Structures are given as structure tokens and as C-alpha cells.
Structure 1
Amino acid sequence: PLALAEPLEVLRDYMYGTDIDLLPREANVGAALMATDSAVTDLALPCRVAPSILATLLRENTTLKKLNLAVDISRFDAASFSSAMTANTTLRELRLKLDMDDIIDPDELDSDVEGRVDPNDPEVSSEGVMGKSDAVFGFLASDTCGIETIVIECTNNTEDDVDCPCSAIVARSLRSASDVHGWLGPKLRHLDVACCDLSSSKLHDIAYALRLTTALRDLELSWAPDDDVAAGATDAMAAARAVSWALETLPIERVVVRMSSGDPQAAFVAGGGGGRAGGGGGEP
């Protein structure tokens, strides 16, 4: 017997092999269920799952094709996750929703709010989290990795003036993995970094990592050039140039850059070299 809120619904879906979208309190039980072979191919775990259960799920399940996973970034065991992902050969689509709600500005800290994490704690601050996140995408360098699609989102519900470190974590993780392993994603065809807007420097890091992919066809990014165009134009141009150079080495077919702030013309300046962006001696 399982202590589920709606056991019949969950078990019925499990038995008949339909897609499962579990409620938060059922996620650990659901993940444990999925650790055995089943007919389920699409699983959503919209809450925090114990690292050991998640690792078992990824290592043991041989039918799962799509996984939608919410990640408590302040307590995420990146090394365990990446190691388990390396052992998984059947997963094709991974959606990571970074839960950044516990990473808050010190000035916003309310000691009376139960469950809030002290950002001054180095283990859970944005700096501490970034230090532990380098291994997140290490699995992409594995020859056995079958991941074709990665979508990275963010659940930042803090105030607008709180800088969310999600883009920094993603950029650093991708670049670190490429630096260590020398290449990324033997089968990765679609990458969508749909978390908070990337700064030009973070976009530059991601572009550097993308140069070491071999199969990327579809790229989506959210880019926020500096609001102060005069001060940010140099960084924006450097980032645009890095992306252009990366794309020249890839069999890319589709690129979407979502720009929500700044002046797009400061980033995309038509060069004098003619031809496609980045070609010859022209500016991207």
C-alpha cells in the first residue's frame, strides 16, 4: 500500500502507461515507482525529489524518454545527478526547472518566514550554489548520452530588483563541462535556455561551450543587453561575435534570441564584410 493523495489515479496512469504528472507530495513515491521498468515514457516531477531516489530512477529506468524535473538549486547534488545521467541511455528530452526561490537578497531576508534560506550561508548562496553546479552538465560529454533536447527554465518568484543567479549557473555549468571534457552533446540537437535573461558575459560563456557541440540544430536564448547601451555595447558586440563564431562551426538550422531589454541594434550591428553574420571580416 502506498500513502498517496490520489493513489488510484496515479497507479492507474502507471499501470496503463500514460504520461504522469505527479503532485509534489507524491513525487518521491512516483520517482521510486518509475525506477523499475514500465510503459511510462514521459514523467513530470514538479517538486523536490530526494537525490538518492532521483539517481536510482535515472540509473534503473530503461523506458523513460522525457523527464520534466524541478530542481531545488540550493540543495541540488549536481555530481550525483550527472553521474546517474551518464548511466542512462534511453532519455531523450530533459527539462530542468530551476527553483531559485530560496536564493534571495540579504536585505530581503525575513527571519520570521519559515523555510527561507539564509543567502549568507555559503552552501546555499548564489556563489555557493555556483561552486557546486559545475558538474551539472558533465553527462553531455558521455558517448552513451542520448539526450537530444534540453530546456532550462527558472521559477524565480522574488522581487524584480533581486538579481537571479540562474543564468550564471547555467552559463558556468555549460562552459565548465566543455572545458573539462573537450566537447558536449554527441546527440544534442535542441537547446533552449529559457531562464532569466542572460547578460552579455553569460551569453559569451554559453557561446564558447556551444562551439564544442557537434549536432546542435536548434538554439533558443533569452538575452538582455546592458540597459546602458553606451557602456554595454562592447560586451554586447563581443557576445554577438562569439555566438556568430560558434554558429559557424555547427550544423545549425534555427536560432531564436529573445531580447527583453536593452537596444537590439547595439548588439546586432551590420558589418561591412557582407555575406552571412560573422562571415569574412565583417562584424556579426
Structure 2
Amino acid sequence: MSAITDAAPAPRAGGGIAGSVRDSLVVAKRNLIRMKRIPEVVLFGLIQPIMFVVLFTYVFGGSIQVGGSLSQQSYREFLMAGIFAQTVTFATAGAGAGIADDMHKGLIDRFRSLPMARGAVLTGRTLADLAQTAVTLVVLAGVALLIGWRTHNGIPKALGAFALLLLLGYAFSWIGALIGLTVRTPEAATSGGLIWLFPLTFISNAFVDSNNLPTFFRHIAEWNPFSTTVQAARELFGNLPPGFRTPDAWPMQHAVLASVLWSVLILVVFRSLAVRKYRRAAG
């Protein structure tokens, strides 16, 4: 009796760009289904930004001066772009923890045995996180409207502001992906995803007028990509308070363009690093 042993074909990524897009959407669908089955993840993701809205609006709002005014309504409108931006960037920690969890459970090893584009696993995951972030923004915008936040430049510009916010969030999710691939546990990914976000979001113009910061921190805030998107969103929403003086730094003077440039740069750099890290881990 003779035995014939056939070597199993090695997994291959096929289909070029179309195949990569298809594979990414399949992985994104898988992650969205998992999020749907664990609704508390979305619920807890909403609680923190709502708490920030309430605390800053009703506890600190009457004590923080923006544009020479202590008006609570002016501060409420000034604040919301910062809360929106903080919400999309803090989703970075969840993205990193999710990828670290997949690595820890061996799911990535199962994916690498399939004939799919290597970068599709990460792209699908980040797209699913982007969809969750968009839902969070919609709910948060509803809460903001209930407490008196308004936009003043029309719906198209408001939608443009939300698009810039989501672009920043998507770019930052690739930082989370890189962190998730680098650490060993989801807990470490959560900690690593948050520890750098706090100085990034608080040394900025999100909650206070950056003109009032000490010189050293003011320069950091003015060139902070997070601040740039916050400034762009405020301009598009029409939420700059009366008497507000836009800082002279180039990113603040050209906030919409600078926001796009910062987000694209972060996206390109960290997507390349994350995909390279994934290929090494799955190689």
C-alpha cells in the first residue's frame, strides 16, 4: 500500500486592492457582530464622555473664561468640540485592547492561516471601531443638543466637522493597533493606550483657551494635532465665542487644512508601522 502525501498550499493574499478591501470588510463585519453581542462595551463607551459634558458644563463652566467671557452658554459651545475630539481619540485604547485580546486568544493565528490580505485583519478591526465611534458621536451630539449646544454655520459645515473628528479618531486607532500588537495583554494595551492620551488632550485647547496657558504649554497646544482638529471643528460648528482671539500659530490659523494633514500623516505612518508589526508577528 502506498501513501501519497500532498503538501497543503500556503495561505496567500490575493485579489489585489479589491481583495484587500473585501477581506477588510469581512473582518469589520465580524467585529461589528461581536460588538452587537456585547452591548455593554458601547454603553460604557458612552458614559465617560457624557460625564465629562455634565461635569465641565455644570461644575466648571461658570468659572472658565473663554474669549473674555464667563458666559456658561459660550463655554458650553466652546467645550463640545473638545469633548467630541476627546471621545474619538479615547477610543484608541479600546482598539488597542481589542487587538491585544485577539492576539492573546490566538485569533490572529487563525486569521493568518487563511488566504487573506495581511493588512485586512487590522483594517477590518479599525473600521469596526470607527463605526462604533460614529454611533457614540451621534448619541453624544444628541446629549449636547439637550443641554443647549448649537451649531451656527449650517448642516454641511457641521457634517464636515464630524468628518474631521472621525478622521482623527481613525488615524489614532492605528496608534492603538500598534500598541495592541506590541504589548502582551489587553490590560497593558488599555493602560498603554490611555497614558499618552491624557497629556495630549489636556495640554490642548479642548477645555480651556490655549491663549491663557503658560508659554511653554501654549506652544505645545498650538501644534498639537488634537488641538488643531478641535479648532477646526469649532470653526465649522460656529462655536468660537465672541471676542475669541485665534492663536497666531500656523495650525490654528489654517485649522481645517492642518487637521487633514495631521490626520493623514498619522494614519500613513502608524498604519505602515502596525501592518509591518503584524506581518512580523504573523510571519
Alignment TM-score, normalising by the size of structure 1: 0.25
Instruction: Between the two structures, name the one with larger relative contact order (CA 8 Å, sep ≥ 6).
Output: 2
Q: Kindly indicate which of the two structures has a greater share of residues assigned to strand.
A: 1
Query: Which has the higher Rg, Structure 1 or Structure 2?
Result: 2
Q: Kindly indicate which of the two structures has a greater share of residues assigned to helix.
A: 2
Alignment TM-score, normalising by the size of structure 2: 0.25
